[in-house]
Structure 1
Amino acid sequence: MAVPLSRISGVEVQDMMKAVARALRHVARVALWLAAAGLILMTVFITAQVVARYIFNDSLVWSEPAAVILMGWFIFLGAAVGIREGYHLSFDVLLYFLPETAKLWLYSISDLVVVGFGFGMVWFGSQLALSAWDVKLPSLGISGAFDFLPIVGGGVLVVLFSLERLARRAAGMPTARFGEADLVED
């Protein structure tokens, strides 16, 4: 039997949010590790291409498209984690003069805009991936949809992490802002 929302206390909501935040912290950590691995792997691929071309006078035809796909993954995964951790740039001059409640409203509006952008990434990225599904990347032998999957994956995380920020704020819990990620205790 479901418990009506009106019977859930503020402490219970915060406890639920802390559990969600812990889970999403792990998701963000995995995404960041995957992004770092992608950056390292891309660097290895490009280095191998340079060595093959200039030392062995041969070319690795797969290195450039593989590096581009990896670059998409580490950019979009890193951007999503940056949203969760509050490391994206913002224009805060007006916020210095506003009361705290107005700041919270503006932060929430900003997060809602980011949610919309994330949904756009998922929707339009999916459309691009579907349109390239039957195209085969000749140098890799895989579907052209793989070029667009980083947009979809990053968009899903952008939506998830932005909704977390909104939920934390609604529950009266802190959210990270640029340079203040240490304030958030999950």
Structure 2
Amino acid sequence: MTKIFDGYCKVLDALIALALAIMVVLVFGNVVLRYAFNSGITVSEEVSRWLFVWVTFLGAVVAVKERGHLGTDFLVARLPVLGKKICLVVGHLLMLYATWLLFSGSLAQAKINWDVEAPVTGASTAIFYASGIVFAASAAVFLLSDLVRALTGQLSEEELVMVQESEDLAQLGRDDAIERDTHDKR
């Protein structure tokens, strides 16, 4: 299952890179055309705006899979294993609820706007709301997978703390620990 998730995220990474490249070409090309030739790419702003939304939501999917969301482990890291498990389960249930709200809202908006055409491209504005549907469905799969692994005891104690600290903070923590050990020995 991990290989499937990793492969899916690699596809998302490639789509994100492609969308960013298209955005750069559209926006930069539009700026050059406006200043140099007093013209522009008509669909540039609309397509760039839609791609930005899609990049944000696809990046959020990858962040959920990699447990890269913001948070603090100040309390959870100090709890016993059972406390960490309880916090993980409660946190995942809350995230699944928020994901459900996003999914149902995005789906409703996509249905409402299915026949509404975008002003410049003429494409359905449901494309805009589909990004929320893709995010919610993908995030729910990742969250459910972690929840099942936690409930079946397949997560290690380190994995029960879902927040990853940055490398800089980890190094600061190691430096502080070394300094405390040195100070205690004196």
Q: TM-score if structure 2 supplies the norm length?
A: 0.80
Identity, % of aligned positions = 27
Q: Which amino acid aligns with 2:97?
A: G
User: Can you give the 5+ residue segments of structure 2 that lack an aligned partner in the other structure?
Assistant: 167-186
List aligned pairs for 1:1-186, cutoff 5 A.
Answer: 20-174=1-155, 175=159, 177-179=163-165
**Stretch moving more, 48-57 or 92-101:** 92-101
Q: TM-score if structure 1 supplies the norm length?
A: 0.80
Q: CA deviation at 1:23?
A: 1.3
**Per-residue CA distance 1:37-69 (angstroms, 9 max, x = gap):** 212221221111111111111121201110111
User: Can you give the 5+ residue segments of structure 1 that lack an aligned partner in the other structure?
Assistant: 1-19, 181-186
**Stretch moving more, 84-93 or 28-37:** 28-37
Where in structure 1 do 4 or more consecutive aligned residues deviate above 4 Å?
Answer: none
Larger RCO, structure (CA 8 Å, separation 6 or more): 1
**Per-residue CA distance 1:114-157 (angstroms, 9 max, x = gap):** 11111112110011111111111131121111111111111111
Distance across 1 between alignment mates of 2:61 and 2:48: 20
Contact 1:118 1:159 (8 Å CA) reproduced: yes
Distance across 2 between alignment mates of 1:150 and 1:132: 14
